[in-house]
Structure 1
Amino acid sequence: MTSDLSNATPEQLLHAAEDSVREARLLEVHKLELLLAWADLHSGDPQAEPGAVPVRYGGPRLITLGGDGTPEVADLALFEMAIARHEHVLSTRGALADAFDLRHRLPQTWAGVREGRCEAWVVRRVARMSRTLDRHQIRIVDEAVAAALDQAPSRILAIAEAKVIEADPVAHQTRVEKNQQDKGVWYPKARPGSQVDDADNTAGVGTVFARLDEADALAHQHTVDDLAAALAEHADVPDSAEPLSMDHWRAEAFAMLADPAAVLAFLNGIDDTPGTSEVEEVAQQPSRDPRRSAEVVVHVSLTDTGALGPVARVEGLGPRLLTQVSDLLGRHAAISVQPVIDLHTGRSVNGYEHPTDVKQRTQLRTVGDLFPHATGLFIRNGRAPDHDHTVAYDKHGPPGQTGDHNDTPLTRHHHRAKTHLGYTVLQLGPDKWIWGTPHGLYRLVTGGGTRPITQAEYRLHAQQALALSADFAA
């Protein structure tokens, strides 16, 4: 690492930044290892010591901090470690509980974190999310999270969430049912002074909180979005005025729902046809079906017995029990099931544009943006990615240049960086890419995340990429 950063080259600065990330990760791991070593020193029963003060008189005792299968530790011994860590003993207890879970219940994940593959705070959160599982149930969480450690934190946590649900679907169903009993809508009153408080200004506005059934919340969101779009489209706004945000129009739509008659009058008003009599208008006015049509993409998997697993991933929502998916669809009278998309197949075409089915398969395979370390996910409500040809399209080139074998979906700003700043990218198959940055950093990107590679590894992969596999070209 260079000591004088003002004289460092771009390459030196990049490598120093990468080294600092790894060092910071390993330092957090070392802090957890120190906690574990301290706990190991104080794992004996203090009540077995000669002259021990009984527990009923405040004497030390063994306590369990982690989940099922973790060891005990003497409670009073943690106060001194808390002092050394410059924190309250409850913070020390929480950190040790996470460390116990990682070492004893999530060993594969712990091994990956000790290699510096992930931030410690991410796996500590996984440990807390999965603490109620027993030592057998947690194994599927450990395997899935360990395999995902090269992904962005949000994706790791989403995978962990799905696996915790899958490990104990009965417990999750209980959580769902409990939440159904805790639904409500609240209209909090402004506290005295808040109208002139710069930090929490409530002058002229009110706040609404609601906890609804998930299907009802989605239906309400769609209604508000549709009404907001109509209000924005038909608003009388001067040409010189700045356009109001959709947040503003959603607030207006939400407020209008308090008067259903006003909503109907507005919707009927924007459907008026000039020159049509009132009688003719009533006859021609189409009935408004309150049920929205929507496309729901559900990812399912089969168990070893060939049955559907208990958990599905719904695009834009996340992991849900199959019973929850049924509830989401249950309010629709007409449901059209589209053919299953087989992600093991592929095809190529002779034109420049990627066909819709190729785009869809690529997005479902990769889940998100394929720029190194990107966090963006392809969700229904987000902006569609740019489907960039990994190898630039040549109109004078051979047939079959466009397809699963030559498709790199990127968000617009990452696409611009690739195009204008000298990044190199090669595709090794329908779900594997290698990147080189302008100043010599190299990354392997797959649906499982981003992993640093050396220049030698990059060159080895590049040789593979020279002959794209024909398995995914029809």
Structure 2
Amino acid sequence: MIRPGPDAVPGNVRCTFAGVGSGAQRLIEKQGPYFEMTEALSQGIVRPGWLACVMEAMTRFRQASDRLVDADTAVRRAEADRLAAVAAMIDAYPAPTPIVDSPAAERVVSAGAEGAGAVGEFVALEVGALLGLSEPAAWSLVHDVANLRARHPLLWAAVAELRVEAWQARKVALAAEELSAEAARWVDAELAELWGVVAWPRIRRRLAGLIVRADADLARRKAEIARRDRFVSIRHLGDSTSVLTARMDTAAALTLEASLDMIVDQMILKGAQDRLPVLRARALEMLATPPLPDAAAPNPSPGLPLADVVVHIAAEALDTAATDATNVARVAARGGDVGPVLLDQLAHLLGHHRIRVLPVTDLDHTVAYWRSTPGSPAPPGQTRISNLGPLSRREHRAKTAGIWTLGQPEPGVYEWTNRAGRRWTVTRGRTTEFRDRSDERIDLVFTSALSR
């Protein structure tokens, strides 16, 4: 019987060893800690109940281990099947054949890097809608699949055989996308014998070296570009903190580091107790937000630069702001979304900055609203606030080209249908797929393309 001991972790099995004593000590001295169980049983040092407890516990542990392996295999198989399904969609996607020449017409674009073939540009919209991905993420998946299949055939086969995880294969395809097709296949051949027997960190290091060897001139050009390519990137995490990443001249970076250390030393002398990384972050904040200049000074310093920050507050949040302290605003800046901010925290975020309010909506139109008789209602179907919707350029072109159809049963509700008949409802910040497919239809443009 399995009986948890008094100090066992809940859910864990603890079997009490009953043979602690002189007999057990003599047996351990004779044979070591890994003594023969038969002799321990014959001498009464180990009770059969304890042995049964251990065997049952190990059986359960082995079953859990097998379950983990089976689950991992299922995940690998599903990821490999997903890549194969995307490849099948690329193959089956009908070539764009616009009936009329239009700027909105679908174009044929490269499916990936050199040697990966071509595909209709709206295929990413189909993949993204089915998987719930943004268009860039869907294109990344399409490119990786096309590159893997055409430029890394051995790796593609290893994924199908479940020897390589899909995410690892995609990283290889991305790392080698600037190589020629021939060079990419050489890298593929060099890595072929490593999959499944060498750890990923070692393969990744080997991959970096192979890419340099595959095209030394490309490696030199990339190194030169890296030396010239200075940048600063700010990404807002949405929890009142942000991440700053920069590439800069090493001499300037050393000077900045020395300046931070000097400020940190002063903070420590004044009694600061935070960890060094926190103090360095505070020092950088001090460099970025110096004290406001004194306007009354004889030679006042220039003011702080303007930072464009957009604050979105729903009308209903303003209506209940006095009674509901949990209302939030969405704050966006050049570096991306700052994140949801409680209304009572806006003062902390914006209170030390100069604020100017600008128009946030401009629904101007080039053709005035038309009315047959002054003062009479406008004819239906004209552009107005109630039938406007946010669309990126590519989605708008796909709708205009008729590849996707859009219906608007009521203001703020959009019903999208792709050429295979799948439908989605898009409302304020939400997308829902229709699960009932009984009335789906195949677009005639799609069927005619397949019949060629």
- When the two structures are superposed, what TM-score results if normalisation uses the length of structure 1? 0.39
> Which structure is higher in RCO with an 8 Å CA cutoff and minimum separation 6?
1
Computing the radius of gyration over CA atoms, which structure comes out larger, 1 or 2?
Answer: 2
- When the two structures are superposed, what TM-score results if normalisation uses the length of structure 2? 0.40
